[in-house]
Amino acid sequence: MSTDNERTHPGAVVSVAVALADAAERETVCAMLRRYADEHRHIAFDIYEMDQASQLLASYSAFIDLLVLDGSRGADGMEMARSIRRMGGNPAIAFIADDLRDAVLGYEVDACGYIMRPRRALREAEARYRECAAVFDRCMDRLARSGGKTLLFAQCGRCLRVPVDDVVYVESRDRLITVHTVGGDFLFKDSIARLGERLSSFGFAQCSSGCLVNLRHVSAVNGDVCVVRRSLRLPIARRRRSLFRQAVSEYFTPAA
């Protein structure tokens, strides 16, 4: 069993959806998540609260890293977990449950663990937190093992963690950066120069003064046009043509 110092965590903002019907229970779980983050300074949680797991189907995105759901019989948490797995979602999942017998169902959706509801209202709070922290540890380990390289972007006061491979290209227009991903686009404020420095080590190259391309998505380079994802055509500035072609060639040339 790894110790906390040995454990490899995502080292980034972790998006958490807490979907529990009882408002007091939601607040208790959120408080424990905040305490866990305070005790693990390299982790920050961006927490979204909802009173029904079914809301996840309308708002779920690949940017959600951890789900806390009601796994007790009769609740909708287990069915929502199944639906998200069928959609291809791979978040860490923790269930709140009344009975250990419910934990068996968690194997079906590869849950990280169950947090038992206290049988007595005055159950010692520290003991329950330690039980929750152990489940959160397993969730963080799961994210660390399954996560590839990711990028953090700030949007409307929130931080989004985006897999590098999902970013197709980034463009600057009217002092705003648009990040085009395979799952959709979003905006945030930054400079293309600063972003270029940040992305250069992730296999991005600048094809024009306002556009950075993820080279893994390049299908072809034809004269002054870069074709990405087989059909999208991005212009290549004349003064950047040579360097961009060189970057593409080096990216797709196997290392000796």
* Domains of the chain by start residue, with CATH: 13-146 (3.40.50.2300), 150-252 (2.40.50.1020)
Q: What is the mean pLDDT of residues 123-139?
A: 87
Least confident of 82-91, 109-118, 181-190, 240-249: 82-91
> For residue 212, what pLDDT is reported?
96
Tokens for 56, please give them: 């996840």
Distance CA 149, CA 172 (A): 23
CA dist., res. 62 & res. 32, Å (int): 24
Taking the C-alpha atoms of residue 6 and residue 246, their distance in angstroms, rounded to an integer, is: 40
pLDDT band at residue 1 under the 50/70/90 scheme: very low
Distance CA 228, CA 218 (A): 4
Q: pLDDT higher for 125 or 211?
A: 211
- The model's pLDDT over 50-64, given as tens digits with 9 standing for 90+, comes to 887 776 665 555 567
Q: Given a cut of 50, is residue 82 above it in pLDDT?
A: yes
**Residue 56, burial from CB neighbour count under 10 angstroms (0-12, 13-18, 19+):** buried
Q: What is the mean pLDDT of residues 79-100?
A: 83
